[in-house]
Amino acid sequence: MLNDELSIRLLGKLTLLMPILENDLSLQLEAKSKIDETLYDYEVTTKCKELVTGDIEEKAQIFIACKRLEGLSEKTLTNYRLFLNKLDLFFTKPVSTITTMDLRMFLKIMSTNKQPSTVNGYITCLKGFFGWLQNEEYIFANPAARLKQTKVPKIIQKCYKAESIESLRDACNTEREKTFFELLTSTACRISELENVKLDDINWNEKSIIVTGKGNKQRVVFFSTKAKIHMEKYIETREGVSEYLFLSEKAPHNHIKVRALQLMLSRIKKRTYVTERVHAHKFRRTQATTLLNSGMSIVGVQEILGHTTPTTTHQNYARLTQENLRNEFRRLVV
C-alpha cells in the first residue's frame, strides 16, 4: 500500500517540476506505470510512526445526512453511499490529503470496462462530495474541481412505434394492467411516480394527478379518457382497501412497488410479438416527443416531465420527428 502512496506522491512532485504532465493525463498514466515498475522489486516503509487512518466513512455519513435534509431521494442517497464506500476502501488517509491525481488514479481503476456515462456519474459523485467538504470547511481545496467529464456519444433515443403501442394495449388483460398501461402512455410519469399514486391525489374532473418526482418535488400530470375509464373500473372491482392506487391481486392486497409494476409490464410484453425492448421509461420519452410534435411548447413539456430546465427535456426526451423537421423546413424555406 505504501508503494502505491509513494508512486502517487512521486508523480505529484514530477507534475510540479514538469508542467507538460499537468494537462496530459495519458502521459501522467505512462509516468505512473514506469514508477510502479521501478518500485515493484522494493518494499517501501515510512519513517512516520503515527497511525494514519481514513475518515471518508465518517464524512460520508454526515454528507448523506445533509443531503437527506435537502430532499434527495433515497435511491440517490443509496447510490452516493455505495460509491463512497468504494472510495473509502480505496483510500486509507484523511480526505484533506487526497489530491486530484489520487482521484484520477481512483477513476482509472473504477472506469475499467465502464461506459462513458457511468464514468461521468462517478465524476459527478466526486464533485458533489468534495465540493460539500470544501463548503463545510473540512478541506481547503477541492481536488475534484479539476476533473473533466468524458465525452458521451450522442445517440438519438428512439420512441415506441404506433404499432407496438397498440399491440401492447391489446395484450392487457386485467383492469389493473389496463390502468397501468394507459397511465404510462398518457401521463409521461416515471414508474416510481406511478407506484406512489394515492386515491386522494387524483382529480377526476380535471383528469389530473399530483405526483411526487425527484427531490420530493410535486407536480400535476394529466391522464387520458381511456385511463380514466379503466381507473374507475379497476378501483370499483379491485380487492382490498388502501389509500394507494395499485394493489396486489393476492391477499392481503398490499400496495405494490416498482419491481411488481416492472414485472407486470414484462408479462404484457410476452403476450405480444413486439420485438423492441419494452421498458417504462420509453413510454415517457414517447409521450414527450408526441406532445412536442403536436405543438406543445418545450416549457410545457418540461413541466409535464418535471425537469428543472428545458435543455434536459429537449436533449434527452423530446426530439422532433423527421417528418416535422421536413414540414418546418418547407414552411420556412421557399
Question: pLDDT for 3-33, tens place per residue?
Answer: 666 776 677 667 667 767 666 667 777 887 8
User: Span 31-45, mean pLDDT?
Assistant: 78
Beta carbons of 242 and 254 less than 8 angstroms apart = yes
- The pLDDT of residue 42 is 78
CA distances from 308 to 15, 38, 110, 301 (A): 40, 51, 30, 11
Most confident segment among 41-45, 230-234, 281-285 = 230-234
In whole angstroms, give the CA distance from residue 62 to residue 196.
28
Beta carbons of 172 and 181 less than 8 angstroms apart = yes
Kindly indicate the confidence band of residue 334, based on its pLDDT and cuts at 50, 70 and 90. very low
In the chain, what are the domain boundaries? 2-135, 162-331
In whole angstroms, give the CA distance from residue 240 to residue 248.
9
Percent of the chain exceeding pLDDT 90 equals: 30
124-175: pLDDT as tens digits: 999 999 999 999 888 888 999 999 888 876 666 678 888 989 999 999 999 9
In whole angstroms, give the CA distance from residue 250 to residue 142.
53
The answer to whether residue 208 scores a pLDDT higher than 80 is yes
More confident residue, 54 or 330: 54
Note the CATH architecture for domain 162-331.
Orthogonal Bundle (1.10)
Kindly indicate the confidence band of residue 333, based on its pLDDT and cuts at 50, 70 and 90. low
Tell me the whole-structure pTM to 2 decimals. Answer: 0.63
Beta carbons of 272 and 168 less than 8 angstroms apart = yes
DSSP string, 15-84: HHH-GGGTT-HHHHHHHHHHHHHHHTT-----S--S-----HHHHHHHHHHHHHHTT--HHHHHHHHHHH
| Element at 220 (helix H, strand E) | strand 218-222
- The pLDDT of residue 92 is 80
272-322: pLDDT as tens digits: 998 888 888 888 888 888 887 777 777 777 777 877 666 666 666 555 555
Written as nine digits, the cell of 188 is 409521461
